[in-house]
Structure 1
């Protein structure tokens, strides 16, 4: 965890310099605690770190990189693998923490982006395309990281019967594999799509 904290702190306080949060350290600490909850194995500080590092590499493509970064910070702020309203609660937490610091338009936009990470539906909004693709970029990770990711997801669902989990997980991965375009932004289609499909194909045929 320690290897991620310095990068995360830099990212958060860069956002503070842009938005002038009223309680930057307090909110940062609360988010770190949230992403460090014991029941998390994948939706952790590591996932947040990987998302933000990838965001830095594509920031030149974005219209509002700071808003995308804030959405990433909060998109899994609430995570219970047994719940169906994590994104709704994460969006509400974002508004609770930062409503006094951002414009009403920014609050509404970022809340909608956080909610969109639940279903990953197609959108014409460029920044949202990148946000959703960053969230799914793990599917195009190295074979070693992808295997680790699969183990982490399984750990989060340890409460599910192993046979049921195996069937349901294969259904999720098969959906990702079969969809014509897994990623929405052209950048991700060109640089991530093929690797993701290779990872998915490999694990579906084990």
Structure 2
């Protein structure tokens, strides 16, 4: 990550946290942002990197620009920052640990109990990516996080290779079985995308990508 790219993300973090605090006093946002960026840059990551964080933030902006209404946008953006802040591919409690980190850090950073609880709820929601009907915040975050599934063929291929690299410690047969289970779980969802724009722009291509990958894993 270049110095300019890092500064851009830190500026986005600072703007988001200050907007979420709505004028309330609180500690300097910068150390929290740097800590998060250091986490996103850990060496065990291949897909869940700073690039993924930036992509999710950009997709939140895209969804908002394409007619997204309502919700607590700054809390959704904060949830994006925290949703993979703890990531170890050999562990199953990453989302829970990320949510706990959000609860601790955002309480210290000056958010209200409601705001902290909502960010943590959104982080935990990325376990299933299946928000309830009318959960505007959840729909926005989940759609942004899963937007990679609707990427063009070459980009999608890069995503799947990066996921495999993160799980390099898993033997091929076990990886194919586990990855196929993840794909079947996603394909079993009534909808992958819940916002109107996400459903219209991404659903068909995402399902095609998932089905193609599943076939290649089970051939």
TM-score by length of 1: 0.92
Runs of 4+ displaced beyond 6 Å: none
**Residues 171 and 4 of structure 1, relative CA distance in 2, 3 Å threshold:** farther
Instruction: Give the C-alpha shift of residue 128 in structure 1.
Output: 0.8
**Residues 41 and 21 of structure 1, relative CA distance in 2, 3 Å threshold:** farther
Q: Is this contact kept in 1: 2:10–2:34, CA < 8 A? A: no
1:193 match: 203
2:33 match: 28
**Alignment pair present for 1:63 and 2:71:** yes
**Residues 149 and 21 of structure 1, relative CA distance in 2, 3 Å threshold:** farther
Q: Is this contact kept in 2: 1:4–1:45, CA < 8 A? A: no
Q: Is this contact kept in 1: 2:125–2:131, CA < 8 A? A: no
2:213 match: 203
Map residues 139-178 of structure 1 onto 2, 5 A cutoff: 139-178=149-188
Instruction: Give the C-alpha shift of residue 74 in structure 1.
Output: 0.4
Q: Is this contact kept in 1: 2:63–2:198, CA < 8 A? A: no
**Alignment pair present for 1:104 and 2:105:** no
Map residues 77-116 of structure 1 onto 2, 5 A cutoff: 77-100=85-108, 101-116=110-125
Map residues 126-141 of structure 1 onto 2, 5 A cutoff: 126-141=136-151
1:11 match: 12
Stretch moving more, 169-178 or 149-158: 169-178
* Structure 1: gaps of 5 or more residues: none
C-alpha distance in structure 2 between counterparts of 1:79 and 1:65, whole Å? 24
Instruction: Give the C-alpha shift of residue 191 in structure 1.
Output: 1.0
* RMSD over aligned Cα atoms: 1.7
2:55 match: 50
1:76 match: 84
The Cα offsets for residues 111-142 of structure 1, whole Å up to 9 and x where unpaired, read as 11111111223312111111111111110112
Instruction: Give the C-alpha shift of residue 77 in structure 1.
Output: 0.6
